[in-house]
């Protein structure tokens, strides 16, 4: 089994839920886990990973991984919202995965709402993490295509096309397919009602 993994997908594809379930199952089997989340992610709570389906798990909250080391008996580390960490943090995870009998599972977004890859996500690809795409469908009513992008909206319902890459929260986001992203963000092409 690979020792460094990246589970990625759009918002709402159950990344956090899968992390929590994975940790539960490993702990039940006697494999100690550690759950980490970035300090910037305080959408639902300050010190836990929370899924929209109503399950949660306690987490260690860190601004970065500079001074963190897994406990000696830890068998698996699960990190939520990995895109909010830095490439340097990814390099530390690589060192841990390559020097200790620990499996590291990272969960997060690949690209932002301006179709730009997050630096930490890019670094995971560069260092050869095993990639696992988590799928969900487009949130445009009637469309059943694979969601691959995010649209970010302002308070007036207009698509945001610039600004900071990191904006925590998802109340003004939609996960959409590539075709709807190109239509609504770039103004390219048309889609018939129902996403066909």
Residues 6+ positions from 79 with CB-CB distance below 8 Å: 35, 36, 37, 85, 93, 104, 105, 106, 107, 108
- Which residue among the candidates 81, 115, 135, 192 is catalytic per the annotation? 81
Q: Judge contact between 141 and 18, C-beta under 8 A.
A: no
Task: For residue 81, indicate whether it is catalytic.
Answer: yes
92 close to 100: Cβ distance less than 8 angstroms: no
Per-residue CA distances from 131 to 1, 93, 107 (Å) = 13, 15, 10
Q: What share of the chain is helix, strand, coil (3-state, %, to 5)?
A: 25, 25, 50
What's the CA gap between 32 and 39, in Å, rounded? 23
CA 3 to mean position of chain CA atoms: 18
Q: Write out the catalytic residue numbers.
A: 81
């Amino acid at each position: 089994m690979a020792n460094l993994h990246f589970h990625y997908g759009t918002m709402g594809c159950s990344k956090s839920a899968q992390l929590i379930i994975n940790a539960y199952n490993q702990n039940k089997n006697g494999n100690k886990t550690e759950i980490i989340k970035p300090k910037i992610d305080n959408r639902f709570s300050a010190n836990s990973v929370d899924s929209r389906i109503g399950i949660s798990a306690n987490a260690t909250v860190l601004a970065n991984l500079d001074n963190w080391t897994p406990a000696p008996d830890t068998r698996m580390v699960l990190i939520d919202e990995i895109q909010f960490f830095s490439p340097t943090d990814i390099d530390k995870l690589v060192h841990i995965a390559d020097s200790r009998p620990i499996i590291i599972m990272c969960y997060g977004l690949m690209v932002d709402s301006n179709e730009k890859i997050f630096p930490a996500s890019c670094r995971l690809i560069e260092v050869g993490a095993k990639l696992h795409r988590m799928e969900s469908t487009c949130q445009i009513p009637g469309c059943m295509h694979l969601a691959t992008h995010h649209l970010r909206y302002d308070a007036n319902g207009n698509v945001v096309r610039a600004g900071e890459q990191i904006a925590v929260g998802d109340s003004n986001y939609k996960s959409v397919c590539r075709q709807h992203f190109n239509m609504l963000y770039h103004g390219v092409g048309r889609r018939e009602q129902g996403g066909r």
